[in-house]
Amino acid sequence: MKKVEKLSKDGRLATTMYERWLEEEGIDVIREDIIEDVRAVPLKPWPRKGGLGVHVCLTGAEDMDDAYICEIPSKGSLKPQRHLFEEMILILSGGKGKTEVWNEGGRKVTCEWQEGSLFAVPLNAWHQHFNLGDQPVRYLGVTDAPPVIDLFHSNDFVFKNPFIFSDRFNGEEDYFRREGEVFAEGVEKIWDTNRIPNIETVELKAWRERGGSSIRFELANNTMVAHISEFGVGTYKKAHRHAPGAHIVILEGEGYSLMWLEGQPKKKYEWRRGSFLVPGRMWFHQHFNTGTEPAKYLALRWGTQKFPAGKHFSEGEAWWYSTKLGGNQIEYEDEDPDVREMYEQELAKKGIEMKLPPVKK
């Protein structure tokens, strides 16, 4: 007789296939609301990768996607990998290196990287990371492994599938050297590319509707994307909400974020360079700069314009205009008075001047 699995209180199986896979990986899993600094998280030997690592399943992601932190030893390499889930990689620290990418039987194409590089691994292509420097390299990966592993519930299918997605990658020699091109120009500049050499030096475009400046990246024909946002000293972003899974890495500055479900108390999370957080499903969230330099973050998330997904992945996509107009953004004049009062108090502690104009009711 087939074993009957124990059900959880909400009626589903006590552990999903993805959760079981995490247990088999043999490394720790971080389940928190926020990580203070991804560059300082303890790592353990990771048999599958051949380096050090930790899985990251932050509360707000709700297993819509996930993250991990991995370290490549100095002058070393990781084991070759391929898998049926998408993956975006940000080099957090260390020197220069390269990633070789190839399809079964095809030629290898090289992606050169350094601290601050962002690139996407082509779907189901073989790839191997090499550290060319004398110091360990630490990187952050964000993937859509949870839904993929749960849907197929076959590790052999996900990790040993021979299918080649030639429309995404077909051994093009300049795959990671292309300049990229503008995909769409509107309220936000959208850049279609496979690699950003250094996200610290990317030119951003003013986006007054959101408060600050921004740029979005469509990467490697993926369904997952990334964007960078920056907001100045003495300013903060407008609150908005959307589907879960936006993994936010603080690149510069210090401050805090408020996150809350409509009608519920606000939670405050302080952050600095290297902090990592994910707003939950339709949680309003709002970011505040309390430092003496502009604050900048990178968000790795769902939300492609090239290959739009259904509501489950794109809920709340109207996040750039007012809730009064049917959107999911709270304008400054409509926010609770205690939001700005709290911010003014935080600035006063550091002697920083508020740069936003008075709220017009």
What's the chain's length in residues?
361
For the entire predicted model, the pTM comes to 0.92
Nearest to 236 by CA among 291, 289, 306: 289
Nearest to 216 by CA among 33, 88, 83, 55: 88
Topology of the domain covering 181-350: Jelly Rolls (2.60.120)
Query: What distance in Å separates the CA atoms of residue 130 and residue 132, rounded to the nearest whole number?
Result: 6
Output phi, psi for 70, to 5 deg: -135, 150
Q: Are the beta carbons of 345 and 338 closer than 8 angstroms?
A: no
Tens of pLDDT, residue by residue over 275-327, are: 999 999 999 999 999 999 999 999 999 888 888 777 666 655 666 668 788 88
Residue 351 structure tokens: 């002697």
The whole-number pLDDT of residue 5 equals 46
The whole-number pLDDT of residue 10 equals 54
**In the chain, where are the structural domains located?**
17-159, 181-350
DSSP string, 158-180: HHS-----TTT-S--TTTTT---
Name 225's Cβ contacts closer than 8 Å, sequence gap at least 6: 216, 217, 218, 219, 301, 302, 303, 304, 305
* Tokens 């390499």 belong to residue: 77
Q: Are the beta carbons of 291 and 270 closer than 8 angstroms?
A: no
Same fold, 17-159 and 181-350: yes
Tens of pLDDT, residue by residue over 34-90, are: 999 999 999 999 999 999 999 999 999 999 999 999 999 999 999 999 999 999 999
Instruction: State the architecture of 17-159 in CATH terms.
Output: Sandwich (2.60)
